[in-house]
Amino acid sequence: MRTFFKTITLVALIYFQILFGASKDPVRGVNGMVVSASDYASEIGLQILMKGGNAVDAAVATGFALSVSYPSAGNIGGGGFFVIHFSDGKQTTIDFREKAPAAVHKDIYLDSDGNFLPDLSQKGWTSSGVPGSPAGLIFAHEKYGSLPFEELIQPAIDLARNGIILSYGAVSSLNSVYTEFLKYPASKMIFTKNGAKYSEGDTLFQTDLAKTLEFIRDLKKDGFYKGKTADLIVKQSMENGGYLTKEDLENYSPVERVPVRGTYRGYDIISMAPPSSGGVALIEALNILENYDLKKLGWASSSYIHYIVESLKHVYADRAEYLGDPDFFDVPADKLISKTYSKELFNLIDEKAKRPSEISRSTFNLYESPQTTHYSIVDKFGNAVSATVTLNSSYGNKIVVDGAGFIMNNEMDDFSSKPGSPNQFGLIGSAANSIEPGKRMLSSMTPTIILQNLKPVLIIGSPGGSTIITTVLQVVLNCLDFGMDIQTAIDLGRFHNQWLPDSIDYEDFLISEDVRNNLTNRGHKFGSKTSLGRAEGILWDRKNKIWTGATDPRGYGKAVGY
């Protein structure tokens, strides 16, 4: 079995290196590491570490830099989560998820006959929640940063004003939504080249965004949530049927929350609590899988895939029924992540695939966009940050705030708008995630830090909407159960099942014909070949006592260390 595992892993890795151009070895760093989806942002974060800044300083600088260099997801018009581990052994999280405007209600996206109108929750100003990213980054710095705030945001300002040279990946991303940008004059002005598509090597200038970032630099939170920027947001929202008001912006505040915690084979798992579902789902899945000897089953074997898929069906069913904003709904997180509950679920899993109806908790559908971005950071002091941010869809609702230079989110689509009606990504949700004024919408973001003896050994996360949880889970298993280095653990193929739809999506070269036949005989159904997640991770190399980092070859990011 061990020989088989080594052979299949080697073959899969070779294929993925051919497909994605994966690095042969992880990036190494003695004192610190930054891994993000943007080479510009990673380099800026590293510069902050080298100046003596801590991991939170670097995370704030990287976050603002992503708003310039990775506008599809790392945008100040969105929101996200920080999971932080401190060198003294403590942990915390910062929730700067977007919130529903005060003017909305649970039926806001239904017509007079009760029919769901997805365009209202996915497109235009009606789809936007109150942005949280600026407040979250400012809050993180004020409470846990060490360098002056101006030093953290100025590199992003310079980047926006001086321009970024567009890589092949950046051009492909921008041009993928070219026709959408043409619909909005301010979006067309910035994200097209005088109405034409950008080409590789062109320079993207964002002078309006530079001015907005300068307001934030000088006035902190008031530079975004009050004054000129707030006036532009509210005016354009009201003129186009949106719900955002000055009071919504002024009243927005991040929330510091206790992390969700679990254990797995002697490791401590620290992840994001609700309103993110990711931490609860990850720990629930790991608790079930702890009952199997996964290494003995063999990586990517039919039994390995079967037991993970069957575990995930229970996890996503629970996500649908029980998870939402804990400020509005009594989330039973402690039960869901308990070893006792996981043993009950383990005992329900057998050698055959169960249909969704056999483990049904709910009948509501929810879709969540895969267009998010993650970054991981560790510093020389032993502090670590795992951060995931998003606009929801790629480039959110595609609307640039005219005069402010950033794109608005379409996060309202992450609520459960109507029982039985999917939003954009096919997940399921109940009353726990219904629309209410001031409520934070449920997310699958799973920024995670794994510890051993109170020291970080793995900092990981991914974009991917509903596939974030399965992406992070499989990278964690690759590292902890199979001892892979971080680059191999991220490079190798992944699969996904989220209970509904009742199918396994998978990446090329992962599932052999024999494995597929065995899974079919167990009752599994297959969906589409696809790309799953874009993980950004850092792993402690115990043998060489050094940090190792890896960006996902499915994207165009960069790992840098020193």
Task: List residues with catalytic annotation.
Answer: 372
DSSP-derived secondary structure letter, 123: S
CA Rg value for the chain:
22
Sign of CA dihedral 486, 491, 492, 494: positive
Other beta carbons less than 10 A from residue 185's beta carbon:
10
The first and second tokens of residue 487, run together, are: 């680059």
Could you write out the DSSP letters of every residue in 470-505? HHHHHHHHHHHTT---HHHHHHS--EE--SSSSSEE
Task: Tell me the β-bridge partners of 433.
Answer: none
- Nearest-CA neighbor of 99 among 222, 332, 255, 236? 255
The residues near 491 (Cβ < 8 Å, ≥ 6 apart) are: 13, 16, 17, 20, 22, 550, 552, 553
| CA of residue 187 relative to chain centroid, distance | 24
**Amino acid identity for residue 523 in this structure:** G
CA distance 58 to 378: 9
Q: What share of the chain is helix, strand, coil (3-state, %, to 5)?
A: 40, 20, 40
The residues near 184 (Cβ < 8 Å, ≥ 6 apart) are: 398, 399, 400
- Angle (nearest 5°) at CA 341 between 338 and 342: 85
CA distance 524 to 306: 8
Assess contact for 176 and 371: CB atoms under 8 A: no
CA distance 271 to 282: 8
Could you write out the DSSP letters of every residue in 283-338? HHHHHHHTTS-HHHH-TT-HHHHHHHHHHHHHHHHHHHHH-S-TTTS---HHHHT-
